[in-house]
Amino acid sequence: MPANTMNEDLKRERQRCSFDPKELTYLLDGGEEKTEERRQREKFFLDDPELSETAPSDYLSHKEKYEHAVKKACIVFKKVQQLQAQGKAGMQNFREVLGGQLGSAILRDGNPLGLHYVMFIPTIMGQGTIEQQAEWISKAWNLEIIGTYAQTELGHGTFIRGLETTATYDPATEEFVLNSPTLTSYKWWPGGLGHTANYAVVVAQLYSQGICHGIHPFIVQLRDEETHLPMPGFENVRIPWNYMLMKNGKVLKDGSYVKSPSSKLTYGTMIFVRVVIVQDAANYLRKAVTIATRYSAVRHQSHIKESAPEPQILDFVTQQHKLFPQLATYFALHYSGAWLWDMYNNVTSELESGELDRLPELHALACCLKAVSAADAAQGIETCRLACGGHGYMSCSSLPITYGLVTAMVTYEGENTVLLLQTARYLMKAWQNCLDGQPLTPSVQYLNSVRRSFGGVYHKSVPWIIASMQRIAAGKIETAHRHMNDKIKRGVNSEDAWNETSIELVAASEAHCKAFIVETYYNSVQQIVPSVSQQLGKALTELCELYAVNTLLKNIGDLLRYSNVTTGDLENLQRWLEELLAAIRPNAVGIVDGFDINDAIIASPLGAYDGNVYERLFAEVSKSPLNAKPVNESFHKYLKPLLKSKM
Ligand SMILES: CCC/C=C/C(=O)SCCNC(=O)CCNC(=O)[C@H](O)C(C)(C)COP(=O)([O-])OP(=O)([O-])OC[C@H]1O[C@@H](n2cnc3c(N)ncnc32)[C@H](O)[C@@H]1OP(=O)([O-])[O-]
Ligand SMILES: Cc1cc2nc3c(=O)[nH]c(=O)nc-3n(C[C@H](O)[C@H](O)[C@H](O)COP(=O)(O)OP(=O)(O)OC[C@H]3O[C@@H](n4cnc5c(N)ncnc54)[C@H](O)[C@@H]3O)c2cc1C
């Protein structure tokens, strides 16, 4: 590959950009100093020859991939420790390096230590008493033990009240006795459970004094700390009394049970991970859209005008319509995720002082935001893949693997439909409160005002779109509430009525979440614009408008159903969408440059900063062991005899 050459199209794109991409980078990182720290951190890992790939792991066997991943995870861990010793890394960096975008670039095939940091340590922090935290966290932090989070069983993932593993307290020995009595009670899915972890937080039904107190977390040793041989399976496994995490519910030594202030505090780690997923989903989408945008600026194909040369595919408006909403969705999820993270931290500290009032609202928002961000990011990444034509299908493009990572988010940590139904529970109560004139929490305040007006006159503004989306959400919430109550009035019991209305309930949740995202995104941009250059402010505003217009246009049917919008208004919206695509076009490459994703994290010949797509693609396929020899042995072994036998 010619060294240090920059693709001419990308050079031109960079000259066209109206703002300085560095300003965007600093904005997203939280300042120039933070950008520098992040770059240094990335360099520290990515420049390590032991961590860089000599050959893609695609060509390794399953076993080799695992061993390779363990080796790298250990190197990464040691390096994080080095940073920590220099005061340059904390818990957040552990997560970033071991679980986030940087981690997934280094550990392409998954991180055997991921669950240790993302769930094992956070569960001990959130569910353990001070003494238990003191005992386990330092061990876990220093990797004296390796943990995972073992909740899901072969028979139950969603319905955790139905888990079958039991932990029965024996006051005579002051121990819990754990049992997984059936095939379906087998712990199934937990990351690292197979070969890596030697401890787990096991979620099991607590029995004491003959009474079942529901699910609770227990620390269980899985493997010998020296030999790593598995401990005997889950039949009458005895663990000491203080291995039950007892910050919330507890069992006293005599076996009496002390209830938690809320049984749902046991679900705390899941809320934490749902909050984290919103940011992670956004970051993976940002990587995919960087690849697809740069590629689309380099790739030429077909004609717009027969007389002109083949255009960059980014000049096709349909291509812009595929990619630019993904750029905007990244920002929308980024700002909503940041908002949710703040709320999570505030509510968590309120919980510490015994205040539980805002937990239901946090749960409702975390559920729907996790669901919508995972689904939209997955769909966005797939759109980016398709936008790269055949090359997007290649595994070396990194798009299929990125999609694979994000589509798993739709299922884990609460399957999306199930989570949207959790939010719907909250919304149904909120609507009832609205009808009864009861106070509403901030995220559903809009129900009161929307209830009083059916629609406002179209004007070309994001606030009008927010109001329209809130009208749609309120309309859907009202319809689902009414339909469910109609059924109940007709004698259907309330649980069946819930199930029969669940399609509408899910739709109501999604609409509520989309309205929330647009509003949060808009408010964030409004706050940022005065503090950045006029050019960047304009670009950020255009992206926000694009997200709003595009989201509304995707819901034309609902808009017509729930507001007094006219067909003329819809035509105006369509025109606005097209204007925005044209306005964003010159800045598209500048925006993805502003994301400042290191080429080693991009890990795609289609999306490198220099745009040498074809050279890099060629170099990539040359790495395949299959291409090492001109004739593969299978020709002599199988094909040749077959060809001969036909003669
Ligand atoms: C890197 C990651 C790798 C992956 C790891 C994993 O996947 S690990 C495995 C991840 N696994 C999963 O994520 C499993 C997904 N499943 C679940 O989380 C639960 O089974 C459930 C929430 C679906 C239902 O739970 P349920 O049957 O016990 O509850 P219910 O529906 O009968 O509602 C009763 C009340 O509780 C409320 N409430 C509920 N949750 C919370 C909460 N967190 N906080 C506060 N409140 C909550 C709810 O709003 C309702 O309030 P209301 O209306 O009465 O005032
Ligand atoms: C990559 C990956 C990693 C994972 N890591 C872990 C881990 O580390 N630790 C761990 O404990 N678990 C882990 N899990 C398990 C994960 O949390 C569960 O798969 C998830 O919670 C969904 O549960 P399920 O598989 O039982 O799906 P199911 O609940 O069986 O869902 C199947 C279908 O049934 C529907 N459904 C179920 N209940 C309802 C309902 N009440 N209303 C309407 N529809 C419903 C769902 O919408 C879905 O369409 C992981 C899963 C994956 C895919």
Residue 518 Cα to ligand 2 middle (Å): 28
Over 60: is that where the pLDDT of 1 sits?
A: no
Residue 411 Cα to ligand 2 middle (Å): 6
Nearest Cα residue to 332 out of 593, 594, 508, 522? 522
Q: Report which residue type is found at 255.
A: G
Three-class DSSP labels, 225-282: CCCCCECCCCCCEEEEHHHECCCCCEECCCCCEECCCCHHHHHHHHHHHHHHHHHHHH
Domain ranges of the chain: 147-260, 269-441+459-591
Which of 267, 441, 505 most suits a substitution to test ligand 1, by most atoms within 8 Å of the C-beta? Answer: 267
Residue 344: both structure tokens together:
């999570």
State how far the alpha carbon of 622 is from the alpha carbons of 237, 298, 394, 636, in Å. 52, 22, 14, 23
pLDDT at position 59 is 87
Closest ligand relative to 368 C-alpha:
1
Residue 3 Cα to ligand 2 middle (Å): 48
Taking domain 147-260, whether its CATH number is 2.40.110.10 is answered by yes
Over 80: is that where the pLDDT of 610 sits?
A: yes
Three-class DSSP labels, 358-405: CHHHHHHHHHHHHHHHHHHHHHHHHHHHHHCHHHHHCHHHCHHHHHHH
pLDDT at position 21 is 98
Contact 117, 197 (CB under 8 A): no
Say how far apart CA 218 and CA 246 lie, in whole Å. Answer: 9
Which residues neighbour 125 within 8 Å (Cβ) at sequence distance 6 or greater? 133, 137
Say how far apart CA 112 and CA 268 lie, in whole Å. Answer: 23
Over 80: is that where the pLDDT of 452 sits?
A: no
For the packed helices 62-85 and 91-98, what is the interaxial angle rounded to 10 degrees?
150
Q: What is the pLDDT of residues 509-541, one digit of tens each?
A: 999 999 999 999 999 999 999 999 999 999 999
Chain length of the chain: 647
Say how far apart CA 56 and CA 475 lie, in whole Å. Answer: 51
Which residues neighbour 36 within 8 Å (Cβ) at sequence distance 6 or greater? none
3-state secondary structure of 303: coil
Q: Report which residue type is found at 206.
A: L
Residue 275 Cα to ligand 2 middle (Å): 17
Which of 160, 269, 368 most suits a substitution to test ligand 1, by most atoms within 8 Å of the C-beta? Answer: 160
Closest ligand relative to 363 C-alpha:
1
Lowest mean pLDDT among 53-62, 157-166, 181-190: 53-62
Which single residue is written with the structure tokens 């309205």?
A: 515
Contact 381, 399 (CB under 8 A): yes
Closest ligand relative to 424 C-alpha:
1
pLDDT at position 443 is 97
How far does Cα 632 stand from its chain's mean position? Answer: 42
Q: Of 413, 510, 519, 542, which residue is the catalytic one?
A: 413
Which residues neighbour 193 within 8 Å (Cβ) at sequence distance 6 or greater? 148, 150, 187, 200, 222
**Shortest-distance Cα residue to atom 29 of ligand 2:** 158
Q: Which atom of ligand 2 has the smallest separation from the CA of 115?
A: 8
Residue 414 Cα to ligand 2 middle (Å): 6
Q: Which atom of ligand 2 has the smallest separation from the CA of 148?
A: 8
3-state secondary structure of 623: coil
Over 60: is that where the pLDDT of 383 sits?
A: yes
Say how far apart CA 558 and CA 583 lie, in whole Å. Answer: 28
Q: What is the pLDDT of residues 317-349, one digit of tens each?
A: 999 999 999 999 999 999 999 999 999 999 999
- Lining residues, ligand 2, CB within 6 Å: 115, 149-152, 156-158, 189-191, 408, 411-415, 417-418, 421
Contact 574, 460 (CB under 8 A): no
**What's the average model confidence in pLDDT over 100-123?**
89
Same fold, 147-260 and 269-441+459-591: no
User: What proportion of the chain, given as a percentage, has pLDDT over 90?
Assistant: 86
For the packed helices 317-352 and 588-595, what is the interaxial angle rounded to 10 degrees?
30
CB atoms within 10 A of CB 143: 16
Say how far apart CA 231 and CA 63 lie, in whole Å. Answer: 22
Contact 6, 294 (CB under 8 A): no
pLDDT at position 611 is 98
Residue 271 Cα to ligand 1 middle (Å): 9
pLDDT at position 3 is 53
- Band (pLDDT 50/70/90 cuts) for residue 551 is very high
pLDDT at position 449 is 85
Give catalytic status of residue 413 as yes or no.
Answer: yes
Instruction: For the chain, give the mean pLDDT.
Output: 94
Q: Report which residue type is found at 296.
A: S
Lowest mean pLDDT among 158-162, 442-446, 456-460: 456-460
Give the chain's end-to-end CA distance (angstroms, integer).
44
pLDDT at position 56 is 74
The annotation status of 191 as a binding-site residue, yes or no, is yes
pLDDT at position 54 is 64
3-state secondary structure of 320: helix
Say how far apart CA 204 and CA 459 lie, in whole Å. Answer: 55
Q: Which atom of ligand 1 has the smallest separation from the CA of 159?
A: 20
Alpha helices, H only, 170-237: none
Q: Given the DSSP bridges, would you call strands 250-251 and 257-258 parallel, antiparallel or unpaired?
A: antiparallel
CB atoms within 10 A of CB 388: 24
Closest ligand relative to 215 C-alpha:
1
- Band (pLDDT 50/70/90 cuts) for residue 645 is confident
Over 60: is that where the pLDDT of 301 sits?
A: yes
Q: Which CATH number fits domain 269-441+459-591: 3.40.190.10, 1.20.140.10, 3.40.640.10, 3.40.1170.10?
A: 1.20.140.10
Nearest Cα residue to 591 out of 337, 282, 286, 380? 286
Q: Is 109 or 271 the better-scoring residue by pLDDT?
A: 271
Q: What is the pLDDT of residues 552-608, one digit of tens each?
A: 999 999 999 999 999 999 999 999 999 999 999 999 999 999 999 999 999 999 999
Residue 300: both structure tokens together:
């030429």
- Lining residues, ligand 1, CB within 6 Å: 118, 149, 151-152, 158-161, 191, 264, 267, 270-271, 273, 359-360, 363, 412-414, 418, 422, 425
